[in-house]
A and B are shown apart, each in its own frame.
Chain A
Amino acid sequence: MSEAKQLNDRINKIKAHKPNPTVAMALSILFAGLGQIYNRRYFKGILFALFEIAFIITFGEFIGLGLWGIFTLGEIPGVDHSIFLLVYGLLSIILIVFAAVFYIYNVRDAKKQAQAILDGWIPPTFKESLKAGYDKTFPYLLTTPGLLLLIFAVVFPLMFAISLAFTNYNLYNSPPRHLVEWVGFSNFTNLFTNNLWRNTFVSVFSWTIVWTVVATTFQITLGLFLAVLVNDVRVKFKKLIRTILILPWAVPGFVTILIFAAMFNDEFGAINRDIMMPLFGLEVPWLTDPTFTRMVLIFIQTWLGYPFVFALFSGVLQSISNDWYEAADIDGASRWQKFRFITLPHVLFATAPLLIIQYTTNFNNFNIIYLFNEGGPAVQGQNAGGTDILISWVYKLTFDTNNYNMAAAISLIIGLMVSIFAIFQFRRTAAFKEEGKL
């Protein structure tokens, strides 16, 4: 009986309190948690207020320094370290974004609850609201560790790389002896107007495109071709054949590329010494003539890349129902027609996103280019090697010549191109459309 009375008292007390939503909102803007306290949600209010105080005490000074740093990039050469200031600035921006999200939530929460109380909503007891709070924050708890690591390893580094593209950070003005400055878009204009940069960019860019399209298409075509052959009913020892065909994928690519590099060595590689010389009596300049190096690179990538596609397609081929082919036989379809209208659509539909990833991977396939011949051989009139693709050029600019600003500008261009291409393609595939509905 007394419990019911207590509850009644509580409800009456709450009903007597008529908070004004605008006031609640204004108070929460003034200081986090004030609005909640005004709404008589004391625990929440104090928690929010403590949060803001702790944040200001811990990060206030750091954010001040960071914001000053990112605007000026330092003022006294030798004392201010521009790059560290840039790092502090970016970290401050990340912190501010977090604080802003929290603050917006705090303000909206104060207003919403005041309105709800006016409309006759009875706030739950302390214990109930703890439980509700746990339910509501659970997905955030789950994603927090991932989010923090993602910021540490991906988001922050990307922000940094993007910022560098708009500075003049290179070997000649590197801190701590010199200051780095913001230079706007001049790295990009430089890339397209300065002769050396433009020539290099155009030649590297066109080779990157040729490389991506040709190498990837070869590996997909070969994979498909072999998968169809192995799938032929007349072929025996299927398991053995599959195992051999899958080998290039199983052996670590890092190892095989270096083995190939040695085999194609102009002077004492096995290809020239054991095959080209005895059979044709000539030494092919595999590593010193750009055209030959490019051909070999495409060959190696096909060798390395087809097994994955082969394995993928083999799986799909086995799942295509025989009824399709029988129906086609009755209609008198030729073998090519069966392939073109039954096999191909089936495998492509099931694997489209993974095939797209093949293209984007090769676009940035740094390992093979760098390990095979370090992007070489050198070519006159440009500052990249004859087989350098954009990403390996960026690597060289960064670690060999410390042209950080240009490297960053080029990576930004790479990133934009790849993501635009990928989003465009993914939108067209069924998998993503389904995802969009969620």
Chain B
Amino acid sequence: MQAKTRSRLELLGIYLVFAFMAVIIIYPLLWAVGMSLNEGRSLYSSTIIPENWSLTHYRWLFTDERSNYLLWYRNSMIVSSMSVLLSVTITTFTAYAFSRYEFVGRKSGLYTFLILQMFPVLMAMVAIYILLNLVGLLDSLTGLVLVYVGGQIPFNAWLVKGYLDTIPRGLDEAARIDGAGHFTVFFRIILPLAKPILAVVALFNFMQPLFDFILPSIILRSPRNYTLALGLYNFINDQFSNNFTRFAAGSILIAVPVAVIYVFLQRFLISGLTSGGTKE
């Protein structure tokens, strides 16, 4: 009997921990939603439960002439999808070569990737700025995409290579005996089996540009070229118009779909990461 009471108390304790966590997690998110529904624009006059409920900020984002929200949305989608497309293609090619072929510089290449991914991209900002300026890609989405794609190679090539290593070599050898060429093996055998990890890489490369504000703030100059994150950041950062409530509205519109996708895909993500990143 005593053991049973103890177990119940323990369980109660566990649930209390969860309840506490739930409050800490949900409060800030709810607060942001409340803010976005306030009528005023500044933090000062706004409350978590608005005195005057209103959707003005949402309406402003979509209908006001001065709002570039839809344009930013479009820019972000372009940058993210181009970055996914190029990253997945280039990373898979690279990882396939590192996983299946012997060539000069293979091993030192792997070490180089490992070290390069440690260096913060920020360190290279000045050089990226000058280089893009030199080739005329400053203030352009193309320049931004190229930097994203180049920067993700070291980490993702490792990830994908780790996954490809787990696909038995016997499969491609059998296909080769049947006369399959390099590309046939790649497209018919490796690619279909590597789908899970490619999905992970695609997701990473879609999300990363979506919420990065630092690289765009260096590369993109004109507000019409801004990506979502940079535009939203400027709602708050702009000294002359502190628009916290507007920022909240714009962020919720993008954060909700992203959060839903993440919650659904997180299991998938984790299994992709552990199979590539670690070997049990």
Which A residues form the contact surface with B (CB < 8 A)? 83-84, 87, 135, 138-140, 142-143, 145-147, 149-150, 152-161, 164, 226, 229, 232, 234-235, 241, 243-256, 258-260, 262-263, 265, 267-270, 274, 303, 311-312, 315-316, 349-354, 360, 364, 366-367, 370-371, 391, 394-395, 398-399, 404, 407-408, 411, 414-415, 418-419, 422-423, 426, 430-431, 434-435, 438
Contacts and interface: CB of A to CB of B under 8 A. Distances in A.
Interface stretch (B54-62, B66-74, B113-121): B113-121
A247 B130 contact: no
Contacts of B280: 349-350
Given A251-B29, A263-B28, A391-B120, A149 B149 contact: yes
Contacts of B223: none
A89 B272 CA distance: 42
Majority SS at the chain B contact face = helix
Contact of B274 (A160, A246, A253, A350): A350
A149 B213 contact: no
Nearest to A265: B43
Interface string B266-280: 110111011001111
Interface in B232-272: 232-233, 236, 244, 247-248, 251, 254-255, 258-260, 262-263, 266-267, 269-271
Contacts of B21: 226, 244-245
A260 B131 contact: no
B105 to A, nearest CB: 9
A25 B234 CA distance: 63
B187 interface: no
Contact of A244 (B25, B28, B258): B25
Contact of B28 (A259, A370, A391, A430): A259
B78 interface: no
Nearest to A163: B127
Contacts of A235: 11, 14-15
A270 B116 CA distance: 41
Contacts of B233: 254, 258, 371
Given A158-B124, A312-B274, A258 B247 contact: yes
Contact of B273 (A153, A243, A253, A312): A312
Given A234-B7, A354-B277, A360-B118, A157 B43 contact: no
Contact of B211 (A147, A255, A269, A311): A255
B18 A247 contact: no
A394 B131 CA distance: 19
Given A246-B263, A303-B24, A316 B274 contact: yes
Nearest to B96: A142
Nearest to B120: A364
A430 B233 CA distance: 42
Contact of B122 (A156, A315, A364): A364
A366 B122 contact: yes
A145 B128 contact: no
A226 B20 CA distance: 12
Contact of B22 (A138, A244, A438): A244
A419 B118 contact: yes
Contacts of A143: 93-94, 97-98, 103, 109
Interface residues of B, number: 94
B229 interface: yes
Nearest to B213: A254
B120 A315 contact: no
A247 B124 contact: no
Contacts of B134: 84, 87
B216 to A, nearest CB: 11
Contacts of B102: 139
Nearest to A319: B280
Contacts, number: 259
A315 B93 CA distance: 30
Contact of B150 (A153, A350, A438): A153
Contacts of B236: 258, 262
Nearest to A136: B103
B131 A152 contact: yes
A366 B214 contact: yes
Contacts of A268: 43-44
A145 B93 contact: yes
Interface in B120-158: 120-128, 130-131, 134, 146-147, 149-151, 153-154, 157
A204 to B, nearest CB: 15
Contacts of B24: 303
Contacts of A408: 126
Given A149-B153, A312-B273, A415-B118, A254 B130 contact: no
B274 A351 contact: yes
**Which of A147, A254, A370, A438 is the most central at the interface, judged by chain B CB atoms within 10 Å of its CB?**
A254
B131 A157 contact: yes
A250 B123 contact: no
B48 A250 contact: no
Nearest to B212: A254
Interface in B8-60: 10-11, 14-15, 17-18, 21-22, 24-26, 28-29, 31-32, 35, 43-44, 48
Contacts of A157: 123-128, 131
B273 A251 contact: no
B45 to A, nearest CB: 9
Given A250-B262, A303-B24, A391-B120, A142 B93 contact: yes
Contacts of B258: 250-252
Contacts of B210: 252
B195 interface: no
Contacts of B125: 157, 395, 398
A23 to B, nearest CB: 26
**Which of B22, B125, B126, B271 is the most central at the interface, judged by chain A CB atoms within 10 Å of its CB?**
B126
Nearest to B11: A234
20 contacts: A140-B97, A145-B90, A146-B157, A149-B90, A149-B153, A158-B119, A244-B18, A250-B262, A250-B263, A254-B212, A256-B28, A258-B233, A259-B29, A262-B43, A268-B43, A268-B44, A352-B278, A364-B122, A415-B119, A431-B277
B224 to A, nearest CB: 21
A400 to B, nearest CB: 13
Contacts of B128: 153, 157
